[in-house]
Amino acid sequence: MKLSLNWVKHFTEVEIGGDELIQKIGSQLGAIEDVQDWGSYYDEKIVIAKITSAKDHEDADKLGVYNIDIGGGQSRQLVAGDKSLEVGDKVGYIPPGVAVPLSVYEGEPFVIGERDLRGITSQGMLGSAKELLFSDNHKNVLKLDTDKEVGSALVDAYELDDLIIDIENKMFTHRPDLFGILGLAREVAGIQGIEFSSPDWYSEDVDFAKVDNKLPLEVTNEIPELCPRFTAVALSNITIKPSPLIMQSYLNRVGLRPINNVVDITNYYMYLTSQPAHAFDYDKVVKLSGEKPNLVVRKPRKDEKIKLLDGREIAPHSEAAMVATDLNLLSVGGSIGGADSEVDDDTKTVILEVASWNLYSIRRTSFKHGIFTDAVARFNKGQSDRQNLPVLKLMMDQFVNNCDAKQASDIFDLKKTAEAKDIVIELSSDFVNSRLGSNYSAQDIAKTLNNVELNAVIEKSVIKVTVPFWRTDLELREDIVEEVGRLNGYDLLPQSVPLRPSQPNFRSDKLQLKSEIKRILASAGANEVVTYNFVSSAMFAKLGYQADQIERAYHLRNSLSPDLEYMRMSLLPSIVEKVNPNMRTGHKQFALFEVNKSHNKDYLDDVGLPKELDSLAMVVVSNDSHQDSSFFATKRQLEYLAVKLGKHFSYHKFEQNNDRLAQTSGLMFATSRRAVVKIDDQAVGYIGEFSSRVKKQFKLPEFSAGFEIDLNHLFPEAIAYKQISKFPVSNQDLTLSVPNNLGYAQLSEKLGRLFNEAQDIDVVYEPISIFRSKLKENRHISFHLIFQSPTRTLKTTEVNDLISRVVKTLEQKDIKQV
């Protein structure tokens, strides 16, 4: 919303300088996007001049040669591409050495020079409306409509020494009144601590004259729920012409294009009051009506269409609020006019509409049909219907003054509710102070509010605020607190940290777990990545997902591109995607991991929302050759994590099941090289070397494996401390020949059980090596054993006996000492 400071000054004093005001507006009204120093576009030397003689150029068809009076007894000779100027016309003269205002505005100053045009010297330039920043008109030299004397600066004649302060629209989503200069002026007064009074015409007490010569017109409203108030009047005897230049200039400054006196009035006073209005060509409405000329506010009928002012033709949705005749649609109510009833150069009679529309209905229609006009921007904030009549009266008076119009109908005023009631909000100074941390008296508060016409009176220490009709946003006491804090300046409030009971407070267990896991894996040499939740159907295709698997992924109805149309069901594929780009930039061996969430339609929580499925996934890859396979390199990372978290994982043959990870990441592994990871009997995740398909599709090296584990099973276990024995340890190595069908874990479990059968001796063992014998029927597995007793020094014979006993038992299972 562009605020013209000079326009604001029509309604309030501004006592502080531009920079200070801009700072104050920014901190007390809303964030500023841009400030334009409008006066800086006009050099002081651009003056008002008068044509003293006019003739055609003898050697050029389209050029006129003029002498002009530029004041101070001086005259100049000008050649202009416009032969229509007459002696006595006032024009804007740009002398040599001065830049054209339009070019300064556009940031590439074009300086006028004295030049020869077909043999005649032109001592400067006469500006067009476009060049002088009044409108888009570039056909003719602009004829000025000022009474100021010849030789005075143009900038002074049209209040051009202005600041245009552009405030972000989203600051005013809740403030319908601030989409008008009048509302902005009220706030500018308020933040300066100055009392503001609305002009007399901005009052609900409006009188209209009755007219005798009435044009035939009926107005009805079939949808008061979408159009709570519809006011209109017919105006005849109109002469279409350009608006006064001062009006054109203000419109142009705030970004509205001047068109003609009729359209400009509706725009100018909309910009002043924030109340949009629309003018229909009466004679066109008559032709579009049935027997009697009429306006009907109604919904569109089936298959009805309308040509819009922006050139499009639409079939409005069935719930749209339209202005129509009994036979044809005329405009989309509160949004955009129709081309068939548009005011044009031949218009003689208009119907002026000043209405109110339901903001939700306006927004729905705006989104359905892509209509984003200045009217929509105002109506969808909820304008008060109590300003319809004063604004209708104001505009009508301008039609009489600027277009020579005559009132040609009574005032139509169709409204839903009988009488509007003022909202009264009662609060105490305590209520305000306890929310702001301030120390304002009731009198301070009342004065602040009264400055912006929020009528506040104090009755027995209660502040009673009668909300004026234009503030449709004020309902609650908290809304009044905002006004008081903002108008006085929040940054002046005393700042402190709130007192609180000194109880400890921590992040959730899950956040702690995530941060701990990340730290552990990074300390083991892996790199943490974060990847998108969004994945593509191409990714699912690469993974070989079938239709029923894809069904389980949430699909976005408004994704940015097909690359981002699904919510992922597991993390591993997103990480696998990051491998090849890193290989290409020369990284030969690395591990990437992510701790994040995924979603799956089969997993809902108690209230039916998708569960937030937390997991940890890792990929380990290498381009180098390795002693062992990638499965074990990856497993070691997982085992390192297990040790740090005090967890015990076991690894089992992969079996297909309905588990979400088995159905997604689990399918990425080679069938001979994958395992289910379990804690006790609970499957918690999957680990494996990637299948040939995945390796090919994602361009992974041969040595590549990964895992994905459900995070909920990784909460760390408490440390179980064991008393440390004072007695010496005894070390032994043991190599066993083990049949191939016996897994390492089974062997290890047996060893543990057998050794711990011994009373009073603790045995710790760890693997040293695994070798396959030449016969290939057995493996040789070596362990390092540490024996210690908590109560005595162990004898060597005792240890050897224990080993023998264990070996003997193992022999029954075909396990032999080597």
**Least distance to other proteins, CB of residue 447, Å:** 19
Cα distance between residue 678 and residue 650, in whole Å? 5
**Least distance to other proteins, CB of residue 182, Å:** 19
**Least distance to other proteins, CB of residue 607, Å:** 9
Locus of tokens 């690894």: 651
Pick from 206, 185, 204: nearest CA to 196: 185
Task: Compute how many other C-beta atoms are within 10 angstroms of the C-beta atom of residue 696.
Answer: 11
**Least distance to other proteins, CB of residue 665, Å:** 16
Nearest to other proteins of 105, 490 (CB atom):
490
Nearest to other proteins of 180, 390 (CB atom):
180
Locus of tokens 């009220």: 186
Locus of tokens 């730290």: 519
Nearest to other proteins of 326, 482 (CB atom):
482
Q: Which two tokens stand for residue 629?
A: 């396979």
**Least distance to other proteins, CB of residue 437, Å:** 3
Cα distance between residue 552 and residue 566, in whole Å? 10
Cα distance between residue 379 and residue 377, in whole Å? 6
Question: DSSP 3-state assignment of 108?
Answer: coil
**Least distance to other proteins, CB of residue 166, Å:** 15
Nearest to other proteins of 305, 507 (CB atom):
507
Nearest to other proteins of 230, 379 (CB atom):
379
Nearest to other proteins of 148, 693 (CB atom):
693
Check: CB of residue 231 under 8 Å from CB of residue 353.
yes
Task: Compute how many other C-beta atoms are within 10 angstroms of the C-beta atom of residue 207.
Answer: 6
Nearest to other proteins of 111, 462 (CB atom):
462
Q: Which two tokens stand for residue 437?
A: 């941390």
Cα distance between residue 270 and residue 277, in whole Å? 7
**Least distance to other proteins, CB of residue 554, Å:** 5
Cα distance between residue 462 and residue 477, in whole Å? 12
Nearest to other proteins of 625, 797 (CB atom):
625
**Least distance to other proteins, CB of residue 511, Å:** 6
Looking at 601-729, list the stretches that DSSP marks H as alpha helix, in order from N- to C-terminal side: 630-645, 660-663, 692-697
Task: Compute how many other C-beta atoms are within 10 angstroms of the C-beta atom of residue 43.
Answer: 21
Nearest to other proteins of 409, 778 (CB atom):
778
**Least distance to other proteins, CB of residue 648, Å:** 13
Cα distance between residue 316 and residue 306, in whole Å? 8
Calculate the CA 72 to chain-centre distance. Answer: 57
Cα distance between residue 355 and residue 95, in whole Å? 48
First-last CA distance in the chain: 89
Max Cα–Cα distance, the chain, nearest Å: 133
Locus of tokens 């050794």: 755
Check: CB of residue 243 under 8 Å from CB of residue 264.
yes
**Least distance to other proteins, CB of residue 456, Å:** 18
Residue 252 corresponds to which amino acid?
N
Check: CB of residue 281 under 8 Å from CB of residue 217.
no
Nearest to other proteins of 609, 724 (CB atom):
609
Cα distance between residue 72 and residue 150, in whole Å? 8
Pick from 326, 353, 354, 328: nearest CA to 339: 328
Nearest to other proteins of 582, 725 (CB atom):
582
Write the DSSP assignment of 322-357 as a string of letters. EEE-SSSEEEETTTEEBGGG---TT---EEEEEEE-
**Least distance to other proteins, CB of residue 616, Å:** 13
**Least distance to other proteins, CB of residue 784, Å:** 9
Nearest to other proteins of 495, 658 (CB atom):
495
Q: Which two tokens stand for residue 59?
A: 């050697």
Pick from 689, 657, 660: nearest CA to 675: 689
Cα distance between residue 415 and residue 681, in whole Å? 72
Cα distance between residue 16 and residue 13, in whole Å? 9
**Least distance to other proteins, CB of residue 536, Å:** 14
Nearest to other proteins of 82, 528 (CB atom):
528
Cα distance between residue 48 and residue 148, in whole Å? 8
Which residues have C-beta within 8 Å of that of residue 148, sequence separation ≥ 6? 48, 156, 157
Nearest to other proteins of 612, 811 (CB atom):
612
**Least distance to other proteins, CB of residue 198, Å:** 22
Pairing of strands 682-690, 778-788: unpaired
**Least distance to other proteins, CB of residue 539, Å:** 14
Nearest to other proteins of 399, 651 (CB atom):
651
**Least distance to other proteins, CB of residue 783, Å:** 10
Paired residues of 430 in beta bridges:
none
Q: Which two tokens stand for residue 535?
A: 């994945």
Task: Go through the chain and tell me how many residues it has.
Answer: 818
Nearest to other proteins of 183, 293 (CB atom):
183
Tell me the CB-side half-sphere exposure of residue 115, using CA atoms within 13 A.
Answer: 8
Q: Which two tokens stand for residue 154?
A: 């143009």
Check: CB of residue 716 under 8 Å from CB of residue 694.
no
Nearest to other proteins of 515, 796 (CB atom):
515
**Least distance to other proteins, CB of residue 799, Å:** 22
**Least distance to other proteins, CB of residue 711, Å:** 11
Nearest to other proteins of 105, 554 (CB atom):
554
